[in-house]
Structure formats: C-alpha cells, structure tokens
C-alpha cells in the first residue's frame, strides 16, 4: 500500500509536477515530472480562438475580419508544427535522474573501523546479487549520456545518477540493487584498499580500463588540502574524544586494515555486519525525475525495514 503525502510547496513559475509518497516499508519518495506548460497554454488559446470564430456566424464585415485574422494565426501555428526540430532538440536534452539519501554517515561508525561508512559508499556499487558485474551501471551510463556519484557526510550518505530517459528504467533497477542486496565481495574490498579498482568509460563505443582512486587515495589527496587540514586540527583540538566528530571519517589503509586486524577483525566482516543494521528503508529518502507515466517506484518495495 502506498501512502500519498502532502505535496511540497513550489514556486509559481515552477513547471514541474511533484508527488510525495511513502511505501509500506517506510521509504519516502518524491516523484518529479515535467509538463510542457507553454504547449498546454498555446492549445488552450487556439481552442478559445476557434470557438470565437465558430460563434461568429452572421457574416458581418467585422466578423469576417476576425475570421481572417484567426486563419493567419492558424497558418503560423501550422508552420511551427511543421518545424518541430527545436522541440525535439529540447526534449533530447532532457535527462532522467534519481537520488537517494540514507540518514547514516560517519557518525554511525565504530571507533575500531573508522571510515567504514565511506568504504560502504564505495562498496555497495560494486555488484549485487541480481547484477554481479561490478561495472554494470557505469557501462550503461557511459553509453547513454549518463553520470553517477556519491558522497559521505557526518550524518547521511547521498547517491545520485542521471541518464537518457529511454534507459532510465534499466539504470534504476541496477542502481536500486545497491541498497537491496549488494555483494561487497572481500576481493573487491581488498582492491579498494589497494586503490586499484577499475571501471570502464566509453569513448566512441571503445571501452578502455582506467585506474581510479578509492578510499585511501582520497585521503592522501585530501590531507594536502588546507581546508581539510584545518578541519582535522580543529577536531583534534576541541572535540571530546568520545564525540563522533573526533573520529577519522575519511578512512585510510591504517583505519580500515591495520586497526581491525589488531583486534582480529576485518573490514569485510564489519561492513557486512554494519550495512544491514544501518541501511534501512525507514531512514531513506528517494527522489525520481522522469516522465509521469514512467515512475518505477515498485522496485524499492523490497528494501528492508528494520
């Protein structure tokens, strides 16, 4: 059963349609669809104009001039209809998109494996039970004007992607499995720790492997940034040791490998314990933007509510 929630307030010039719903498992979703208000307005004006002409039946000179004037307008309208290239170009530029926010972040980590939320952000996208290929979504998006990203904050983690509308359903099904049944294989985690994971990008339909940085490399880059260094110094100077802000949220090889090993644990085991306990549908917020007749919300019904 889907519960309809109050629609959000929007600007008077906002042409989008919004519908907020809540699924049985507690997941709240905002569905966004675009309508061509200008086209609707033009059709309404054309209807009013034709009605005015139809009611002018006495044949006076003034009425004939009104009819002639309307005919000229119809010709202009037909010219626009016969040249739909601009509309097609505009439609072709439109994209479908999805975003998910999970109200779990680095504040929810255990001290013995700091950076676990950040590692989870990387790992859930590396294959699922339904789509075991680690690069399934990236390959699809790269071929269809798409892109994806994610980031971990203190109290939430956000994921999003965009793609050509005709591939939205396929991409959404792959992406939804991130939150439903990710594999998070041990060998994939080891490659994340070595910063040697691979994905494929498409250039003229030729796929080439590209090395990308992962959790440890992101830390190595960030520690050279003055703002990040300043934040870390402030944290260590003023935060109480038992406050979650005092933890090391970035994660690196030491916090994700050496520290767990020191207590006879592994990041892989801790991740599989942490994910199902924290990634619950009742603390997820989903946004989908697509045409109104193509809202594939049912795929998220299988998310677990804890």
Active site residues per annotation: 121, 192
Which residues are 151's β-sheet partners? 158
CA distances from 3 to 21, 24, 221, 290 (A): 6, 8, 45, 20
Burial class (CB in 10 A: 0-12, 13-18, 19+), 3: exposed
5: number of Cβ within 10 Å:
13
Instruction: Report the run of H or E that residue 187 belongs to, with start and end.
Output: helix 186-193
Residue 177 φ then ψ, to 5°: -65, -20
Do the beta carbons of residue 24 and residue 303 sit within 8 Å?
no
Token pair for residue 293?
């007749």
Given the structure tokens 């980590």, which residue do they identify?
109
> Cβ neighbours of residue 100 under 8 Å, at least 6 residues apart?
158, 159, 160, 179, 284, 285, 286, 287
Rounded-to-integer distance, Cα 267 and Cα 258, Å: 10
Pair of tokens at residue 79: 């010219």
- d(CA 10, CA 5) in angstroms, rounded, equals 15
The closest alpha carbon to 121, from 154, 155, 150, belongs to 150
């Amino acid at each position: 059963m889907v519960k309809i929630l109050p629609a959000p307030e929007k600007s008077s010039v906002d042409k989008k349609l919004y519908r907020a719903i809540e699924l049985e498992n507690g997941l709240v979703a905002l569905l966004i669809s675009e309508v061509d208000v200008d086209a609707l307005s033009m059709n309404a004006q054309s209807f009013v104009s034709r009605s005015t002409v139809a009611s002018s039946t006495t044949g006076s000179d003034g009425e004939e001039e009104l009819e002639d004037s309307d005919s000229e307008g119809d010709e202009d309208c037909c010219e626009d209809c016969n040249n739909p290239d601009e509309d097609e170009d505009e439609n072709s530029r439109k994209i479908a998109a999805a975003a998910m926010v999970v109200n779990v972040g680095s504040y929810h980590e255990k001290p013995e494996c700091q950076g676990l939320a950040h590692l989870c952000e990387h790992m859930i996208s590396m294959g699922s039970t339904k789509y075991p290929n680690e690069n399934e979504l990236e390959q699809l998006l790269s071929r269809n004007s798409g892109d994806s990203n994610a980031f971990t904050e203190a109290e939430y983690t956000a994921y999003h992607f965009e793609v050509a509308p005709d591939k939205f359903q396929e991409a959404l099904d792959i992406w939804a499995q991130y939150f439903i049944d990710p594999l998070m294989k041990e060998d994939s985690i080891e490659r994340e720790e070595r910063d040697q994971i691979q994905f494929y990008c498409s250039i003229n339909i030729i796929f080439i492997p590209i090395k990308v940085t992962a959790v440890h490399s992101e830390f190595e880059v960030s520690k050279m940034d003055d703002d990040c260094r300043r934040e870390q110094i402030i944290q260590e100077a003023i935060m109480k040791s038992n406050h979650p802000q005092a933890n090391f949220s970035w994660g690196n090889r030491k916090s994700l490998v050496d520290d767990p090993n020191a207590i006879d644990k592994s990041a892989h085991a801790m991740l599989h314990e942490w994910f199902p306990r924290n990634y619950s549908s009742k603390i997820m917020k989903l946004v989908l933007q697509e045409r109104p007749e193509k809202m594939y919300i049912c795929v998220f019904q299988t998310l677990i509510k804890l």
